[in-house]
């Protein structure tokens, strides 16, 4: 199982290594500590509201609950690497991210680049 701090470092490292000017999609598989589901969902709703209102270049940011107990999926999309990095360093993130991390048992983070845009770039 991934330590939370390792997962968060991976998020930041991935954000820095993404190519510029390509849409980035993110998937975070999360397991919340038992008994913390409602608080996690509440904090995510507050954070998502701030993200969608303030994070220029964030196209999508949502939380899904899986059938397995305490298990969630965060789906996010950014117009480019700069938008992802702004999100990672946002003031509201500095407030909410630590509170939410304290509720996690495990996190697995993956970022993806748009194949359609990479294909379009190669034709130029």
Q: What CA–CA distance (Å, rounded) separates 45 from 30?
A: 15
82-101: pLDDT as tens digits:
999 999 999 999 999 999 99
Q: How many structural domains compose the chain?
A: 1
The answer to the question of residue 118 being in a domain is no
The answer to the question of residue 64 being in a domain is yes
43-88: pLDDT as tens digits:
999 999 999 999 999 999 999 999 999 999 999 999 999 999 999 9
Q: For the chain, where are the E strands, in sequence order?
A: 24-32, 58-65, 71-78, 104-113
Tell me the average pLDDT across 104-109. Answer: 94
Q: How does the average pLDDT of the chain come out, rounded?
A: 87
Other Cβ atoms less than 10 A from the Cβ of 16: the count is 11
Cβ contact 49:63 at 8 Å: no
Q: What CA–CA distance (Å, rounded) separates 99 from 32?
A: 12
Q: Among 64, 59, 57, 60, which Cα is nearest to 90's?
A: 57
The answer to the question of residue 68 being in a domain is yes
- The CATH number of the domain holding residue 45 is 3.30.70.100
pTM for this prediction: 0.82
The answer to the question of residue 96 being in a domain is yes
């Amino acid at each position: 199982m991934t330590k939370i701090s390792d997962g968060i470092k991976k998020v930041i490292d991935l954000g820095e290594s993404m190519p510029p000017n390509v849409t980035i999609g993110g998937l975070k598989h999360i397991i919340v500590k038992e008994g913390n589901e409602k608080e996690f969902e509440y904090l995510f709703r507050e954070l998502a509201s701030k993200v969608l209102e303030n994070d220029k270049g964030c196209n999508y940011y949502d939380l899904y609950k899986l059938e397995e107990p305490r298990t969630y999926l965060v789906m996010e999309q950014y117009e480019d690497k700069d938008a992802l990095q702004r999100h990672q360093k946002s003031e509201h993130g500095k407030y909410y991210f630590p509170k939410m991390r304290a509720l996690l048992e495990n996190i697995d983070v993956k970022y993806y680049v748009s194949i359609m845009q990479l294909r379009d770039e190669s034709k130029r």
